[in-house]
Amino acid sequence: MDRLSLDIAHLFAGGLVLVSFMLLYQDRMSGLVNTFASHAVVVSLSVAWQAYIQQAPHLYITSAIALVVKAFVIPVALHRIIVRLGIHGTIEPVVGIGQTMLAGIGLVALSILVMLPITAQAGTLAREDLAFSLSVILLGLLMMVSRRNAVSQVIGFMSIENGLILAATGAKGMPLVVEISVAFSILVALIVIGIFLFRIRERFDTVDVHDLDRYRGERP
Amino acid sequence: MSDAGSLAVGAILLVPALSAALLALLPDDRTAARLNVVATLLTLGSAVVLFAVRPAPGHFLIVDDLNVVFIVLSTFVGSTTSVFSASYIAHELEIGRLAPAYLRFYHAMYQTLMFAMNLALLSNNIGLMWVAVELATLTTVMMVGIYRTAAALEAAWKYFILGSVGIALALFGTILVYLAARSVVGEGLDAMAWSVLVGSAAKFDPALLNLSFVFLLLGYGTKVGLVPLHAWLPDAHAEGPTPISAVLSGLLLNVALFAVLRFKTIMSSNPGALAPGPLMVSLGLLSVLFASFMLYRRHDIKRMFAYSSIEHMGIVTFAFGMGGALANFAGLLHMTLHSLTKSAIFFCVGHIAQVKGTQHMPDIRGLTVSHPLLGWGMVLGVVAIAGLPPMGIFVSEFLIVTSTFARQPALAVVLGLSLLVALGALLLRLNGLAFGDPYGSNEPSKASFVPVFAHFGLVFAAGIWLPPALVAWFQHVAALLS
């Protein structure tokens, strides 16, 4: 594999980490959804590039699914949900944006420190890709714990899924089963989420999951 | 002969899948409940066939000595739960808590869950197993939220988020295992097949395996309900329909544990890799300790038994973590008996909550007087789950504690103390529930006692006499695991 192909692959993977950071500092709902759409576009480009350099045509399917579903269909649906629920205002983070970003930088450093030494034998392509994808996964987790809004948590979860796709495609020759299943599970998961969002609204008049804590059923 | 085996494996997967489709279309609730029972019984029948004949392992499916135990247990509890579910659901329809439209959905989801669990147990491919566990998670999320009350939605949302994050971590671990295998086995399906992975694990890169096991243990451990990843479990058990609580506790937790065990086998076949035992021992012990104290301040009866499930899954994880022939044997026995006991307890609890119209324990009193069969069933269940003789769980807990004393006395002391703490909490609650003057609604119950007493009968029998064939089988599996 020539140097340029690797560099481009790393460019996309690094770009994904960058967009993950951008997800962390969005302070408006619609901006968050748009940033997620670009996250999906980057992951789709990255998968397409992997398909090209690995000569694995089935990866184009994964790439197309990521592009169509996660860069277009889901953001459009989320925009509608946001408008219908009237929550396009400010996102309420649990801790300040600054601290979240610092924690994010720490997580990226951690994942690089963890992954690079132990994947020395796994090949150059998989090596950096795994470090980047672990960063994306950890940043997604960070986003899920640092936001109180159900929609932001869902977006955090989907960015984790993007990180997983990056890892799965970086692992050269991984059987098709997993790629399609990842894409499929996102679809299914989204249907569930969609239903839940509406049900949550129906019952609570809010999608701030903080308010759900009242219903723990533990009080005497 | 292997044809009969393939046929049985096909039936274990196809019967639930087809009946799920059929049940989704069937409008009549009585027929649906019966069909549900028939389908689970057919699956159980096909599972039993696997004792006699089994097909050769393929790329995707495998039947070996370990998963046969899980499959038979899973299909058995699945079929008894469907009998319980028929009477439970009839009552829910009567009082209008569940609309008929949701019932179709409920039955279809029940069979989909059975399909997903059987697929996870039978899969010979770590990717396929992951997909099956994900499917099982999604179906149970839907079922937990089926009552659509505020509490049920919160429980389902929490379960969905924690479950998905867990499952995402497990997928990352799965990818890492593939990477470790790829350089040895080569690209393609072989690098994801159990049968191949275990054989060549000795040559894998230990560092990659270590990292993957951490992710897999945390990921699938979330589904096992290990502390501190357990937060979804009590809510999901308390707010969903009781048959689902029974299936969750009795089966789904086992399926997740099964996945951990499979990866543990790979880890232990590699001499350079981290020993997986201590990690499992600490998570298990932490779960037992935490859950036994949490049992005290519960007011919701289903929530209390959910914490008891965390405790027992902790014990099983601890036993498998200790490893060795005796501890593995005890862990396997404990897991089987816990599944049987806990699902039977949930059968009782379901009927009790229906006749009393509440899950709030202070409002339930004197059950042995008002509903003798239910009340004494409850007493039997609590005696069994608390690990008192002569019930079977006493035997398995005794084996675990004594075998630990021989090797790590300090751990055994902690384990033993937690078991006593849990015993105290359970007996304290039982006293209020079962004895004293009856209180609250006194409606007669139309319970089905066959599943309850079938399970307790088996647990009792296991406490008195374990058939030599079963002992030999479990010993064989325990030896495979160590």
Domain map of chain A by residue range? 3-214
Q: Which DSSP category does B270 fall into? A: -
Q: Give me the pLDDT at residue A176, please.
A: 56
pLDDT at B252 over 90: yes
**pTM (2 d.p.):** 0.91
Inspect the interface and report whether the beta carbons of B148 and A203 lie closer than 8 Å. yes
Band of residue A219 on the pLDDT scale cut at 50, 70, 90: very low
**Cα angle B222, A105, A40; round to 5:** 70
What whole-number percentage of chain B has pLDDT above 90? 52
Taking a C-beta distance cutoff of 8 angstroms, is the pair B233, B309 a contact? yes
**Cα angle B393, B399, B404; round to 5:** 130
Interval B64-93: pLDDT, tens? 888 899 999 999 999 999 999 998 988 888
Establish if B432 touches chain A: CB-CB under 8 angstroms: no
Mean of the per-residue pLDDT values for chain A?
79
Average pLDDT over residues B381-386: 93
B191 CB neighbours in chain A (<8 A) are 173
A175 CB neighbours in chain B (<8 A) are 125, 127, 188-189, 192
* Domain assignments of chain B as residue spans, ordered by start: 276-482
Nearest chain B alpha carbon to A138: B169
Inspect the interface and report whether the beta carbons of B156 and A196 lie closer than 8 Å. yes
Taking a C-beta distance cutoff of 8 angstroms, is the pair A26, A35 a contact? yes
Closest partner CB to A199 (pick from B148, B179, B188): B148
pLDDT at A209 over 70: no
Write the DSSP assignment of A83-109 as a string of letters. Answer: HHHT--SB--BSS-HHHHHHHHHHHHH
Establish if B128 touches chain A: CB-CB under 8 angstroms: yes
A193 CB neighbours in chain B (<8 A) are 160
- Taking the C-alpha atoms of residue B20 and residue B109, their distance in angstroms, rounded to an integer, is 7
Integer angstrom CA distances of residue B61 from B25, B27, B118, B193, B253: 29, 34, 11, 9, 21
Query: Which residues, at least 6 apart from B469, have a Cβ–Cβ distance to it below 8 Å?
Result: none
Inspect the interface and report whether the beta carbons of B153 and A200 lie closer than 8 Å. yes
Q: Give me the pLDDT at residue B4, please.
A: 83
Beta bridge partners of B300: B360
Interval B334-377: pLDDT, tens? 999 999 999 999 999 999 998 888 888 888 888 888 888 889 99
More confident residue, B114 or A189: B114
SS3 B340: helix
- Taking the C-alpha atoms of residue A157 and residue A146, their distance in angstroms, rounded to an integer, is 12
Interval B162-210: pLDDT, tens? 888 898 899 899 989 988 888 888 888 888 888 889 888 888 888 889 9
Interval A121-179: pLDDT, tens? 666 667 788 899 999 999 999 998 888 777 788 788 888 888 988 888 887 777 754 55
Q: Give me the pLDDT at residue B440, please.
A: 74
- Taking the C-alpha atoms of residue B265 and residue B213, their distance in angstroms, rounded to an integer, is 11
Q: Give me the pLDDT at residue A212, please.
A: 55
A203 CB neighbours in chain B (<8 A) are 148-150, 153
**B119: closest CA among A23, A177, A12?**
A177
- Taking the C-alpha atoms of residue B245 and residue B461, their distance in angstroms, rounded to an integer, is 25
Residues in chain B: 482
- Taking the C-alpha atoms of residue B277 and residue B145, their distance in angstroms, rounded to an integer, is 36
ipTM metric: 0.87
Integer angstrom CA distances of residue B352 from B234, B250, B360, B365, B368: 18, 19, 11, 11, 11
Instruction: Dihedral sign for Cα B314, B317, B320, B323, please.
Output: negative
- Taking the C-alpha atoms of residue B209 and residue A173, their distance in angstroms, rounded to an integer, is 19
